């Protein structure tokens, strides 16, 4: 791309013809020209003939790109790699892009929807806390109430699944709420930011009424998966296809670059649920991963600090050492103790072995096929909004797709 | 099978011929006859003609099955589902078989090796502790010193990978040390006990010199995987093919029923390492799984109790919230703090993002591509045998295959 023409009206020669339009920002390496009829054209080879008009401010270009017939989507930026670039002084990646810059960086989005962008946070996702989740849920609620067709949240991948779960419980939505991120910062050649954003935009205007995560699904740039927010986790530290649906097939596949969506499993459709917000979260809930030899005193430690929600990440079908039974029995009197499995895949069942049955007698509640992380967020939400007895009842009830009546083995199906 | 003939010398008619031999115990539903030439024959349909000689005790039958030309293998039973049957009073599964009974239940093993069986424990594996691992390591050491070709350890699947890791660090072995278990108890039609045991026996006499886990690898009864003990985890609560090698291909595949082994990746060969035992473990080491909002005071709690080994299960490339940095910085003065990832797949790298670099400055050590559970056991072993400074150095060094120089993506390779 010829330097310095971005945002200017130019005349170019390419493919043996003359084109006139505004030079758009592009991250793909090709030169993108917005014609007066509104269409974007991309060229890998071209010759600049002349600059007809000097540049316009970025905001004006974004406004120019809007089309009346397209649906309106709100993008809320919270930080993370998708909003990052490499700091060439230190070699490290830091969050520093605004939402507006992300959009101007991926002009294909302007063909899908009109975008209003908002920078809510600019933090790395490991620093997210319950207060951020609550504030975010309120912003999404507002956007849907304002009539946006869908909401996209750009988010760091580290804790994206936690935030998606939090919103799934706090917010009943008639429209798509789409989390998207990137594993490689957008100024790297291998970045997945552009593809993920385009697929997220397609999902945001689709016939969907739930909180989802849209991320790269293969090692090539060919499709994204739409994951149910309460059934997904990050399963690789660095790969672009790091996100996996667990104990549930992905809801759908978005082809790239066509943007066609193929639905893979039953979903909540657009308009099926009413817009509601129940945004309290109890922060005194803890997840404890069991390992052989770990003593149960850590439960007392949290109990004595006023914690009344405990998610245990046990072994196998949902076990901890038998010498935990007394402690659990004591705290379960006025706390909710939920058992999940560090296997991650499969369903907890404490009726098979002696240990499990002792745990049930002690008051442990089986977390069914919920991920430990999802059970944690659910319990934070339940104890924020209900008393302990009601939380004990509801933690086993499927509320937003976090529990399947019977576990389906996605990997079993695709491996064959 | 005609009741009551087990262990007796009988004459039967089957497939239009007359056979004479000793009726063997069998779990497969077919009738197994040991001929005088030593071969076993199985019949699904037959007619009993006469009982020639009354029954012999089980031990004598096992002794009978021994053949001079076969290698000797020691089976150490520690309990778990592979040694369980359903208690028909309660409907639950309890551990109650002895090692000898397991062997007599799977007569195919007698074709592979001569077996000496030993019942060390009869406990469910979630109740295992460091003291059990140490005692087990000593028994295996003794067996290899006594000249056994290999050692099989039957073990509950819940914590099998933890125990395998513990032995891998404590015991340098010239011979195969094979962990095996079952996801379904051996008196159930769908039990994987027999197939897993046969594949374990084949592995125990193979050209291998490390601690491995041999378990069902598919949803059919066609092959087992040989997993490196420090690179495997249980990834499903109930499926028979629950065990997966993480960040490493399985070492090999054992076909069933042929028992042929195909090696898939580089392994330590038989005799490559000398027999050595270093069996001290420090129990004051803790694994803490991070989640958004978790406060770092739990580290102080353990530090104040004298813990000097901390494995953090962080997010993504190895992150915890920035507000953990001060606490980590304080405890890392005289403790080892290792970062692993709850992604499980992939490698920790704290040099990419700001948070990670702060953590490194605070004294966090990157756990490379080690599983959190393996890093925990490694640190227990290091602090049991070395001072803190040496443990800090060695935790990043590959000792027994727990760290790969570069991560290979097994699932990437097989998915294509």
- pLDDT (tens digit per residue) in A51-85: 888 766 666 666 666 777 899 999 999 987 776 66
More confident residue, B130 or B121: B130
Backbone φ and ψ for A231, nearest 5 degrees, come out as -130, 25
Q: What's the pLDDT score for residue B48?
A: 87
Q: Taking CB atoms and an 8 Å limit, are B346 and A129 in contact across chains?
A: no
- CA-closest candidate to residue A182, choices A59, A100, A77, A25: A77
B158 is catalytic: yes
Q: Is the pLDDT of residue A172 over 60?
A: yes
Tell me whether residue B402 is in a domain. Answer: no
pLDDT interval class at B416 (50, 70, 90): very low
Q: What's the pLDDT score for residue A23?
A: 83
B78 is catalytic: no
Residue of A nearest to B374 (CA): A291
pLDDT interval class at B194 (50, 70, 90): confident
* Pair (B207, B256) in one structural domain: yes
* CA dist B342 → A26, A238, A278, B247, B372 (Å): 35, 12, 29, 13, 8
Q: Taking CB atoms and an 8 Å limit, are B376 and A291 in contact across chains?
A: yes
Q: Is the pLDDT of residue A411 over 50?
A: no
Task: Encode burial over B247-284: b for 16+ CB neighbours within 10 A, e otherwise.
Answer: bbbbbbbbebeebebeebeebbebeebeeebebebbbe
Q: Is the pLDDT of residue A241 over 60?
A: yes
pLDDT interval class at B26 (50, 70, 90): low
Tell me whether residue A385 is in a domain. Answer: yes
Contact yes or no for B151/B213 (Cβ under 8 A)? no
Asked which of A377-381, B55-59, B151-155, B373-377 is least confident by mean pLDDT, the reply is B55-59
Q: Taking CB atoms and an 8 Å limit, are B355 and A287 in contact across chains?
A: no
Contact yes or no for A284/A334 (Cβ under 8 A)? no
Q: Is the pLDDT of residue A352 over 90?
A: no
Asked which of A98-112, B114-128, B228-242, B372-386 is least confident by mean pLDDT, the reply is A98-112
Tell me whether residue A45 is in a domain. Answer: yes
Average the pLDDT over A33-49 and give the result.
Answer: 75
How many domains does chain B contain in total?
3
* Pair (A329, A264) in one structural domain: no
pLDDT digits (tens, 9 = 90+) for A117-168: 888 988 889 999 999 999 999 999 999 999 999 999 999 999 999 999 999 9
Q: Is the pLDDT of residue A33 over 70?
A: yes
User: Mean pLDDT for chain A?
Assistant: 88
Q: What's the pLDDT score for residue A26?
A: 63
d(CA A226, CA A250) in angstroms, rounded, equals 6
Q: Is the pLDDT of residue B213 over 90?
A: yes
pLDDT digits (tens, 9 = 90+) for B99-118: 566 666 787 888 899 988 88
Q: How many angstroms separate the CA of residue A249 from the nearest CA in chain B?
A: 16
Nearest to A322 among B127, B235, B347 (CB): B127
Q: Which of B74, B202, B234, B378 is catalytic?
A: B234
Active site amino acids of A = 81, 157-158, 234
More confident residue, B91 or A32: A32
Tell me whether residue A333 is in a domain. Answer: yes
pLDDT interval class at A393 (50, 70, 90): very high
Q: Is the pLDDT of residue B159 over 60?
A: yes
* Pair (B126, B270) in one structural domain: yes
Residue after which a domain boundary falls, among B56, B77, B93 = B56
Tell me whether residue B3 is in a domain. Answer: no
- CA-closest candidate to residue A370, choices A180, A200, A229: A229
> What is the percent of chain B where pLDDT is above 70?
85
Q: How many angstroms separate the CA of residue A146 from the nearest CA in chain B?
A: 30
* Pair (B326, B235) in one structural domain: no
Q: What's the pLDDT score for residue A412?
A: 41
Average the pLDDT over A263-275 and give the result.
Answer: 97
Tell me whether residue A415 is in a domain. Answer: no
Domain carrying residue B310: 285-394
- CA-closest candidate to residue B187, choices B115, B81, B103: B81
* Pair (B17, B124) in one structural domain: no
- CA-closest candidate to residue B34, choices B49, B16, B12, B54: B12
Helices (H), A128-276: 130-145, 160-170, 193-204
* A236 Cβ neighbours under 8 A, 6+ residues apart: A242, B343, B345, B346
The conformation of residue B408, written as its DSSP 8-state character, comes to: -
* Pair (A157, A224) in one structural domain: yes
Q: Taking CB atoms and an 8 Å limit, are A237 and B322 in contact across chains?
A: no
Average the pLDDT over B310-325 and give the result.
Answer: 97
Q: Is the pLDDT of residue B311 over 60?
A: yes
CB atoms within 10 A of CB B104: 25
Average the pLDDT over A5-12 and give the result.
Answer: 84
A233 in helix, strand or coil?
A: strand
CATH no. for residue A302? 3.40.50.40
Q: What's the pLDDT score for residue A123?
A: 85
A300 in helix, strand or coil?
A: helix
pLDDT interval class at B8 (50, 70, 90): confident
* Pair (B226, B359) in one structural domain: no
CATH no. for residue A155? 3.40.50.1170
d(CA B341, CA B332) in angstroms, rounded, equals 19
CATH no. for residue B50? 2.30.30
* Pair (B119, B268) in one structural domain: yes
Which chain B residues touch A293 with a CB distance below 8 Å? 129-130, 283
More confident residue, B171 or A351: B171
CB atoms within 10 A of CB A362: 17
Tell me whether residue A168 is in a domain. Answer: yes
Tell me whether residue B416 is in a domain. Answer: no
Contact yes or no for B121/B132 (Cβ under 8 A)? yes
Q: Is the pLDDT of residue A176 over 80?
A: yes
* Pair (A258, A354) in one structural domain: no
Q: What's the pLDDT score for residue A410?
A: 42
Q: Is the pLDDT of residue A233 over 70?
A: yes
pLDDT digits (tens, 9 = 90+) for B358-372: 999 999 999 999 999
* Pair (A204, A335) in one structural domain: no
* Pair (A160, A246) in one structural domain: yes
> What is the percent of chain B where pLDDT is above 90?
63
Q: Taking CB atoms and an 8 Å limit, are B313 and A289 in contact across chains?
A: yes
pLDDT digits (tens, 9 = 90+) for B280-306: 999 999 999 999 999 999 999 999 999
Q: Taking CB atoms and an 8 Å limit, are A237 and B128 in contact across chains?
A: no
Asked which of A292-301, A367-376, B66-75, B197-206 is least confident by mean pLDDT, the reply is B66-75
User: Mean pLDDT for chain B?
Assistant: 88
Residue after which a domain boundary falls, among B234, B249, B277 = B277
Q: What's the pLDDT score for residue A196?
A: 94
* Pair (B91, B238) in one structural domain: yes
Among B165, B235, B237, B321, which would you mutate to test the A interface (most chain A Cβ atoms within 10 Å of its Cβ)? B237
Residue after which a domain boundary falls, among A229, A258, A277 = A277
* CA dist B134 → B139, B165, B365 (Å): 9, 12, 27
The conformation of residue B308, written as its DSSP 8-state character, comes to: -
- In the structure encoding, which two tokens stand for residue B109, read together? 């093993």
Q: What's the pLDDT score for residue A230?
A: 98
Q: Is the pLDDT of residue A20 over 60?
A: yes
- CA-closest candidate to residue A187, choices A122, A102, A76, A118: A102
């Amino acid at each position: 791309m010829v330097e310095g023409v971005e945002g200017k009206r130019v005349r170019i020669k390419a493919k043996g013809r003359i084109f006139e339009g505004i030079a758009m920002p592009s991250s793909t390496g090709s030169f993108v020209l917005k014609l007066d009829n509104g269409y974007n054209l991309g060229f890998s080879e071209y010759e600049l003939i002349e600059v007809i008009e000097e540049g316009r401010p970025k905001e004006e270009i974004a406004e120019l790109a809007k089309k009346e017939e397209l649906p309106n989507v709100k993008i809320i930026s919270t930080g993370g790699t998708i909003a990052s670039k490499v700091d060439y002084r230190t070699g490290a990646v830091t969050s520093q892009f605004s939402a507006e810059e992300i959009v101007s960086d991926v002009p294909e989005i302007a063909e899908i929807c009109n975008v209003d962008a908002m920078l809510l946070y600019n933090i790395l996702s490991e620093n997210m806390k319950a207060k951020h989740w609550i504030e975010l849920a309120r912003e999404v609620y507002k956007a849907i109430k304002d009539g946006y067709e869908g909401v996209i949240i750009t988010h760091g991948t580290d804790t994206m699944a936690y935030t998606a779960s939090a919103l799934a419980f706090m917010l009943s939505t008639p429209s798509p709420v789409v989390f998207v991120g990137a594993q490689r910062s957008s100024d790297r050649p291998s970045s997945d930011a552009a593809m993920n954003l385009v697929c997220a935009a397609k999902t945001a205007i689709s016939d969907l009424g739930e909180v989802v995560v849209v991320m790269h699904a293969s090692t090539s740039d060919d499709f994204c998966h739409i994951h149910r927010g309460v059934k997904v986790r990050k399963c690789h530290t660095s790969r672009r296809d790091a996100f996996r649906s667990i104990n549930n097939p992905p809801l759908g596949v978005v082809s790239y670059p066509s943007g066609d969506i193929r639905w893979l499993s039953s979903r909540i459709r657009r308009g099926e649920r009413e817009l509601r917000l129940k945004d309290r979260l109890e922060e005194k809930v803890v997840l404890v991963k069991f390992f052989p030899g770990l003593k149960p005193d850590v439960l007392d430690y949290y109990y004595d600090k006023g914690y009344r929600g405990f998610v245990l990440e046990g072994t196998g079908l949902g076990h901890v050492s038998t010498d935990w039974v007394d402690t659990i029995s004591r705290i379960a009197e006025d706390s909710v103790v939920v058992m999940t499995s560090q296997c991650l895949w499969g369903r907890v069942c404490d009726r098979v072995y002696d240990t499990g049955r002792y745990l049930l007698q002690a008051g442990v509640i089986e977390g069914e096929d919920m991920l430990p992380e999802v059970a944690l967020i659910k319990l934070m939400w339940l104890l924020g909004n209900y008393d302990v007895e009601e939380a004990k009842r509801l933690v086993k009830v499927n509320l937003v797709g976090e529990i399947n009546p019977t576990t389906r083995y996605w990997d079993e199906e695709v491996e064959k």
